[in-house]
Chains A and B, each alone.
Chain A
């Protein structure tokens, strides 16, 4: 099994029924839930990697709180956005990045 969202109906926190949203990742539609970060949407959709290091090695989330910069993505044309810190919005256009193109 991979990463998953706790089902709203079984969430001890008493979350309301999920409000769906849709983003695209490199042109492909991906379903998410309002309130998720972009990292959360990607992980829950079964993706684990969306960036590559200098050698081309795959990367995804590591620290989850904005310290490691492993999860950088381009959001609506803006590069180097930490996916773990950015709340997903319906209609966001996400593009994956590689370290070679990251801003220095």
Chain B
């Protein structure tokens, strides 16, 4: 029987991993929580829209369609949409056992399935990281990713007019999507000053040549902004959202390079919606559940991988944003390599070497992006005592500071239990990195990514016995 590779996540990295493993001759089960492959980058429109030209909303759509069709139609690939991995179980040796819930999102009575792969490739991706600011919990304040997902995924404009703020190149495609969908974008604010961005982007410009694809994509967005006379301002941020029960105005201010506010530069802008992103948080609960070591970088924690995308856990590989924020081309290349090796492909094969080189170049590009768009250390300066830090539990900055200063607290865990920060429904997905940063140096750290149950499962589902899914590699062939 051939090798079974389970790939979790069907975005650029996961689709790449599935293709790599198929090429190496393995059987593949590709699992994703959505109804369609593509992840957040190539978020597909619902089938009910029967869209004739979905590619018009996307960059690199043809390449995506080719990869998607190749993988999903492959006789050795089993595609599991609407399938959530809620737990990974570590046996004594070999790859983890994968526990899956299959069915409509958050439904009751989803089917419980168990996969026992020879190798597991994790490619769950990332979600926006948003730093707290006074009023960020008001309705009408969205992550930039939410505005993008709703515009690309179901043709909904979150509001009009819209202000987009935060840091990073992702603000540009979000602005482009909103403009395309007919919204007025008031301005796009990059918190870093032009000098910081230029240092990251401008150093060793010849390195950019192999990544002309990504650089060209970004240049296209910049042109669109210019055509629609949407100002792109650097060194400016939203430091407060105000409104009665919903956002009505944003307060913006000029920032110094360390993101401290320059007094007297505040401006009040009436908005209908505010879209914010300060970068991305990798979804690390599955790598942590699998026992993978994490690496700490200035940009946060990521899954540690070797040159072959192998994690420190036996039989577990990682690709895409959980290994470092690099964008879709980097993710796809990492996926192809991870899948090839996980599927039993020779690491010294010529195409593996070529993939490694491409991956290294994409990583270098990602490092430049990170250098161009760091989070300034002085950002907590815009918080007030009563500013909500943990949205779920409404834990304030003041109560976190008091708990951290309290000798009795002693540990991050005690602070969490005392303030409830990170203990609500999102399980610290949103505030985890922020709370860790605010507490660092004050109390001994805890892993904000540890979630024994990676996705919610209902008691009734837990009580029902799971189905063992033994691979049937001949299934599709016999069906043809």
A residues adjacent to B (C-beta < 8 A): 1-6, 10-16, 19, 33-37, 39-40, 43-44, 48-49, 53-55, 57-70, 72, 78, 80-82, 84-87, 99, 102-103
Contacts and interface: CB of A to CB of B under 8 A. Distances in A.
A4 B128 contact: no
Contacts of A55: 394
B157 interface: yes
B465 interface: no
B47 interface: yes
B307 interface: no
B272 A2 contact: yes
Interface stretch (B137-145, B357-365, B407-415): B137-145
Interface string B119-155: 0000000011000000001011111011101100011
A6 B179 CA distance: 11
15 contacts: A13-B54, A14-B51, A14-B53, A34-B46, A35-B47, A48-B140, A49-B139, A60-B140, A61-B150, A62-B430, A63-B142, A63-B143, A70-B391, A87-B46, A103-B425
Nearest to A43: B156
Contacts of B429: 67-68
A34 to B, nearest CB: 4
B204 interface: no
Contact of B246 (A49, A68, A85): A49
Given A2-B272, A6-B155, A80-B425, 18 more contacts: A6-B181, A11-B51, A12-B53, A16-B52, A35-B47, A36-B46, A40-B154, A60-B140, A62-B141, A62-B143, A63-B146, A64-B142, A64-B147, A67-B426, A68-B426, A69-B392, A86-B104, A99-B392
B56 to A, nearest CB: 5
A42 B356 CA distance: 46
B391 A68 contact: yes
B393 A54 contact: yes
What is the interface residue range for chain B against chain A? 35 or more
Contact of B45 (A3, A13, A69, A84): A13
B108 to A, nearest CB: 5
B425 A13 contact: no
B61 to A, nearest CB: 11
Nearest to B150: A64
A66 B246 contact: no
Contacts of A53: 137, 391-392, 394
Contact of B157 (A6, A13, A69, A72): A6
A4 B107 CA distance: 27
Contacts of A84: 146, 149
B155 to A, nearest CB: 4
B418 interface: no
A48 B138 CA distance: 10
B107 A78 contact: yes
A69 B245 CA distance: 19
A53 B369 CA distance: 36
A13 B56 contact: yes
B158 interface: yes
Given A6-B181, A58-B245, A67 B127 contact: yes
B237 interface: no
A66 B137 contact: no
B32 to A, nearest CB: 12
B207 interface: no
Nearest to A70: B391
A82 B3 CA distance: 36
Given A6-B156, A72-B425, A59 B137 contact: yes
A86 B104 CA distance: 7
A62 B146 contact: yes
A78 B458 CA distance: 10
A69 B283 CA distance: 15
B57 A14 contact: no
Contacts of A1: 159-160, 272
Contacts of A12: 53, 56-57, 180
B141 A85 contact: no
A39 to B, nearest CB: 8
Nearest to B281: A67
A15 B157 contact: no
Nearest to B155: A6
B50 interface: yes
Interface string B375-419: 000000000000000011110000000000000000000000000
Nearest to B161: A1
A57 B47 contact: no
B106 interface: yes
A64 B145 contact: yes
B445 interface: no
A14 to B, nearest CB: 3
A85 B50 contact: no
B187 interface: no
A63 B105 contact: no
Contacts of B50: 15-16
B273 interface: yes
Given A37-B154, A40-B154, A6 B53 contact: no
B33 interface: yes
B182 interface: yes
Contacts of A63: 127-128, 142-143, 145-146, 430
